[in-house]
Amino acid sequence: MTAGMIQMRKQSMPRALRQGMLCTLAAACVWAGGAVGAAPTAAAAGQPGQWYLDAMGVAEMWKVTTGKGITVAVVDTGVNATTPSLRGQVVKGFDATEAAGAETDDYDGHGTTMAEMIAGTGKGGGLQGLAPGAKIMPMRIANTEFQNENKVNAQDSADAIKAAADSEAKIINVSFASEFSTAQERAAVEYAHGKGKLIFAGAGNNAKSGNKPQYPASYPDAIGVASADKKGTVAEHSQHGDNVDITAPGTDVPVWCDDSFKEYCKGSGTSAATAIASASAALVWSANPDWTANQVLRALIDTAGRSWAKGTRSNFLGHGLIRPAQIVVDKKGDPGAPDISPLTNRKTGGSPAASAPPSAPASSQPPKSNTEDGTAVAGSSEKAEKKDDSNTGLIAGGVAVVFVLAGGAFFFLRRRAA
């Protein structure tokens, strides 16, 4: 691990520990609603801190689907395909850095964490993925320290997203964020959306230090993901604004400590929440293979836990807490029109949808108190007092965006992992 990259609580957890952590009834009600009955069943395999597995009702969902048939492209620091949890789970990807190594050379550990959260098998005490039947396609990009030590492709993130769009992957997981938008990256996201892909991106972890819009989450065709804890409380680091579309678990979860892959530590961030959102979509799409990306996302939005009116958005939780069990187990959720984006209300090809009403404006004010909006409603609580014990994201300094200046000089602007 390089200094300043992964910030987490210094509580390491040996990989040999296998027993999952039992969630509370309250957590199950928040994250799964009525899909799991009165109480969670036996804990899922994996690390003890993976509270979200039972809270989201994996035992019941896995009776229907494990995400088989869905490939998720992970645009990140690379994916180590040799960890016990990822053996046999990784397909050929793409190294957009143009540096030494390959897409399976994870120089940080962050990308491997995301991959395991999505599709890990939990073997060897590794992370148990929410969608263990899915496959991972690693798309490696460079972070700041990597680009400082290597000659890298200045447009690696855009190239990685575009390559994922042209691949068999249906879902693109982008667990990083930057204050800086580039025309190439925006075009790549638009291209991927036009190819029928779902692009989940972290909203960012700088809510307490500027809360500036982050990219690619703020692009119209990307799904911005916020982070919350087992009670549905938005993490205080999780950025808010009209770039937040949905919220997923991301607080106090196990992550690889570094690129040695020897142990897990506890971390928090919208990176993890993005991975859980991608895995949720994989489960829904696998269970409904005839749906389009628009329909998968619309059903997730329709069934999200919230206490405000459907069709309106919260600046903190977007459309609410993601609850795939409502779709997979309880068969709820309106998929709607296959060719209309629920994000923009436009046809996937870019034409306006004449019959689709405009999205209601996002709430600009948080609730006045933690109990104001009815925590008895399953998955409904939006909190003004947002809590996260670590007060950090998974990575504090990250992937560089490179701008070419007059005379051919390069100016590097730091992108943070979400």
The residues annotated as belonging to the active site are 76, 110, 271
Secondary element (H or E) of residue 163:
helix 156-165
Query: Given the DSSP bridges, would you call strands 362-363 and 313-314 parallel, antiparallel or unpaired?
Result: parallel
Q: Minimal CA–CA distance to 40: which of 282, 325, 319?
A: 325
Ramachandran region, residue 391 (left: φ > 0; alpha: ψ -120 to 50; beta: rest): left
What is the Cα 353 distance to its own chain's centre?
28
| Of the candidates 3, 95, 22, 29, the residue with the CA atom closest to the CA atom of residue 231 | 29
Placement of tokens 């937040």 in the chain: 244
Dist. CA 54–CA 40, nearest whole Å: 6
What's the one-letter identity of residue 366? Answer: P
Tell me whether the omega of the peptide bond preceding residue 84 falls within 30 degrees of 0, making it cis.
no
CA 244 to each of CA 41, 317, 372: distance values in angstroms, whole numbers, following the listed order: 32, 7, 21
What's the one-letter identity of residue 281?
A: A
Q: Give backbone dihedrals phi and psi of 330, rounded to 5 degrees, phi first.
A: -85, -5
Interatomic CA distance for residues 204 and 212, integer angstroms = 9
State the helix-helix crossing angle for 156-165 and 183-194, rounded to 10 degrees. 10
Pairing outcome for strands 253-256 and 263-267: antiparallel
Euclidean distance between CA atoms 76 and 28, whole angstroms: 30
d(CA 404, CA 204): 25
Report the C-alpha gap between 215 and 198 in whole angstroms. Answer: 15
Identify the sign of the CA torsion 20, 21, 25, 28. negative
- Rounded-to-integer distance, Cα 160 and Cα 398, Å: 16
Q: Strand locations in 152-208, DSSP E?
A: 171-174, 198-202
Cα–Cα distance, 124 to 54 (Å, whole number): 20
SS3 category, 270: helix
